[in-house]
Amino acid sequence: MNYCCPVCKKTLKLVHRTWVCENRHSFDLAKSGYVNLCRNFKASQGDNKEMVASRTVFLEKGYYQSLANEMVSLVKKLNPEVLFDCACGQGWYTKQLKQAITGEVHGFDMSREAILHASKKDKESHYAIASIFDLPAFSKSVDCITLIFAPTAAEEFHRVLKENGILITVSPGENHLFELKEAVYDHPYKNDHTPAVLSGFDLLEQRFVETEIFVDCPQDIQALFMMTPYTYKTSEQDMAKLKALQTLKTRVHFSICVYQKKVNFYKKSIDID
């Protein structure tokens, strides 16, 4: 699959190690193999090097393998020719998705450090720095999009998906990390796992994956907490409770929603030729 130029929207072709369009806009492949296709890229965007390293250690210990297995099972049944893993982070899920199918897999994220890590560890998938709200792809060119713990760019996803294309999203289930929240907060609450209503898509299915994990490393507990939005709104007093934890047993609970594109929903949208 060819990318489209983020500047003029013409076809990019790979010449040696540079993506070039007919208007001579060019984008070099990095040494590790990724390409920066973001029009308004700032080096400080997304996860930094320390955050990427911390999340990588946590994920590679298999705490979220139950989720990865379910995603692999879903994607394997679909066997898409082209799959976009949007907001792919360091590519831990992306790599496993690629190993399950014969089609092309492309991972996109705004974090240079995350994409750099992903492209070093996974040579079978294609990685690019790009916003999920401005994907470097032509309209109706993608079979399946996966989105794990990230905001949804429904209109952009609708544009790039083929007719009847599939969008798979992952969000926290009702009981996700509830015991962790009990240890940190005085009044923990359960998550609302009502499926999001996405313009331009029909919800085909919602399924749940729930299991219990035991984290016996304080650094992993910190990494887990940093992977949640709670880290941005937790008081110093509650953070002290978190830092005091030496071990943690908690449920992980994931809500997986499978959507299908409604054809001709955005009647006024302009396709990129």
Structural Rg of the chain based on CA atoms: 19
For domain 34-261, the question of CATH label 3.40.50.150 is answered with yes
Distance set, CA 238 to CA 49, 128, 229, 230, 250 (Å)? 26, 37, 14, 11, 18
Determine contact, residues 200/262, Cβ cutoff 8 Å. yes
Neighbours of 158 (CB within 10 A): 24
Distance set, CA 8 to CA 21, 131, 139, 268, 273 (Å)? 9, 16, 15, 20, 11
Token readout for 117 is 């890590």
Phi, psi (rounded to 5 degrees) for 73 = -60, -45
The pLDDT value given to residue 266: 59
> What is the value of pTM for the model shown?
0.93
Torsion of CA 70, 73, 74, 79, to 10 degrees: 150
The pLDDT value given to residue 162: 97
The pLDDT value given to residue 268: 44
Q: What are the structural domain ranges in the chain?
A: 34-261
The residues of the chain scoring below 70 in pLDDT are 41-44, 266-273
169-189 burial, b if ≥16 CB within 10 A, otherwise e? bbbbbebbbbebbebbeeeee
What confidence tens digit (pLDDT) does each residue in 197-247 have? Answer: 999 999 999 999 999 999 999 999 999 998 888 888 899 999 999 999 999
Question: Hey, which bits of 57-98 come out as E strands?
Answer: 82-86
The pLDDT value given to residue 44: 53
**Spatial CB neighbours of 253, under 8 Å, sequence gap ≥ 6:** 172, 173, 174, 175, 176, 177, 178, 191, 208, 209, 210
The pLDDT value given to residue 270: 38
The pLDDT value given to residue 179: 96
Question: Residue 87 — left, alpha, or beta (φ > 0 → left; ψ -120 to 50 → alpha)?
Answer: left
Closest alpha carbon to 245 in 181, 183, 175: 183
Determine contact, residues 201/260, Cβ cutoff 8 Å. yes
Token readout for 134 is 């401005």
The pLDDT value given to residue 183: 95
